[in-house]
Amino acid sequence: MRTAMQSLVIAIPVLCLSCFAVQSHAEEMTLFTFNAATSGANPSRNLVFDAEGNIYGTMLGSQAKYSYGAVFMFSRGSNGKWSRKILYAFTGGTDGGNPNGLVLAPNGDLYVTTWGIGVAPCTQCGSVIRLSRNSQGEWQEQTLYTFKTFAEGNNPTGNVILDGSGNLYGVTYMGGENNEASYCNEAFPYGCGVAFELTPTSQGSWNITILYAFGFNSDDPVFPSGPLVFDKQGNLYGAASEGGGANGGAVFELKPSDGSWTESVLYGFPSIVDGGSPHGGLIFDPNGNLYGTTEFGGQSNQGTVFELTPGASGWSGQVLYAFKGEPDGANPVSAVVRDSAGNLYGTTMAGGYDGCDNFLPGCGTVYELAPSNSAWSETLLVTFDGPNGASPNQALTLHKHLFGTTPNGGNTDEDVGDGVIFGITP
């Protein structure tokens, strides 16, 4: 059995010569193995780094430790070992619980969204909190906003993003209010999600503005499920896991004009071959193209990585890679990251190693997609086998090397495992 806290352990990932066409010699580093009884469980979002190289993340916790979740920090000592500190443990009150997104502001503050708990009358609607250091270097929590009704939004998904004035933008997976004839009110009375803005006031409170309530008609995106992203002009882009005409999900744009925002559908996935159910966020390349993933779709219906390209007549989509299922990856549900050479990196929740009977077929993978003469080639960097992690469902962080989390795995016995933090040197 591995111990709950480890120094930096180097391990060669399980690789199979016959498993996939391109094999990697990447090294996987297990930074930390979670233990529900002693250290909490289930890291819940991607990691962020500060300028000093400290790592920040969130976990859902366990009944034994941090039952409403917590925010943690890892610092690396001069001996090369990592030590963990809990910055904040959620209480399940107005601060919420089940952290679901984390972002580091330029001034060093941390902004965290929570999936649920909240206060009556909407006891599971979620919150946005801020963690700041005081003059003594201690971290203090401030609840910026607690979603109080379904009309305001229900369960913020992914992290918020900041504009230059310190306003926050995000989405909720459910909630929102449209007119009584809207598709969402008829099909899903709890609301199909909103895009929101939080603005600080001079009194220290925060006001919410609903930029858009999704589900106005059957062609509208519903259930936005990843963080928003700005373009250079200040427009917002995001993905919704359903809706979009063929009900395969869609990518949308929100454009500001005279104090209001106008929503438009950039791309609705027209068929299962083109992909379906985009859950992760989007990223831009320097040319203004968008990249994302779909959990399903492609020739094998195991998920895709896609690119959207703007043109004179609108946006066009293409599948860069369609996953095939084990021994290849399957079911990507997180965003990709891009390096300076244009390579894309991401995780798949399933596929890879054919063990892990407690999970989906396969324990998941980390992959690289490299462009080559208008085609893209895939390399599996890591195939998870349970002891080194399982079911990665969050985006990677590129900080000299690749870093990520798995919510499960990490135990060397037959138990499910409580999650790991890992690093990869390609």
> What is the C-alpha separation between 229 and 400, in angstroms, rounded?
23
- Name the CA radius of gyration of the chain, rounded: 21
Among candidate residues 420, 418, 381, the one with its CA nearest the CA of residue 41: 418
Output the CA–CA distances (angstroms, integers) from residue 143 to 92, 111, 127, 136, 212, in the order listed.
Answer: 12, 10, 7, 21, 23
The 3-state DSSP class for residue 184 equals helix
Q: Are 321 and 369 in contact (CB under 8 A)?
A: yes
Reading the block at residue 102, the tokens are 């984390």
Residue with tokens 């060093």: 108
The per-residue DSSP string of 90-118 comes to: --SSTT-EEEEEEEE-TTS-EEEEEEE--
Number of other CB atoms surrounding residue 318 within 10 Å: 12
> What is the C-alpha separation between 139 and 365, in angstroms, rounded?
35
> What is the C-alpha separation between 142 and 178, in angstroms, rounded?
31
> What is the C-alpha separation between 156 and 396, in angstroms, rounded?
20
> What is the C-alpha separation between 28 and 13, in angstroms, rounded?
6
Number of other CB atoms surrounding residue 418 within 10 Å: 28
Among candidate residues 413, 426, 425, the one with its CA nearest the CA of residue 33: 413
Predicted confidence pLDDT, tens digits, the chain (426 residues): 233 333 232 222 322 222 333 445 578 888 999 999 999 999 988 899 999 999 999 999 888 899 999 999 999 888 888 899 999 999 988 888 999 899 999 999 999 999 876 556 676 789 999 999 999 989 999 999 998 888 888 889 989 999 999 999 999 998 887 655 566 766 667 788 999 999 999 998 999 999 999 987 778 999 998 899 999 999 999 999 998 888 889 999 999 988 899 999 999 998 888 999 999 899 999 999 999 999 999 999 999 999 999 999 899 999 999 999 989 999 999 999 999 999 999 999 999 976 676 556 888 999 999 998 878 999 999 999 888 899 999 999 999 899 999 999 997 554 578 999 999 987
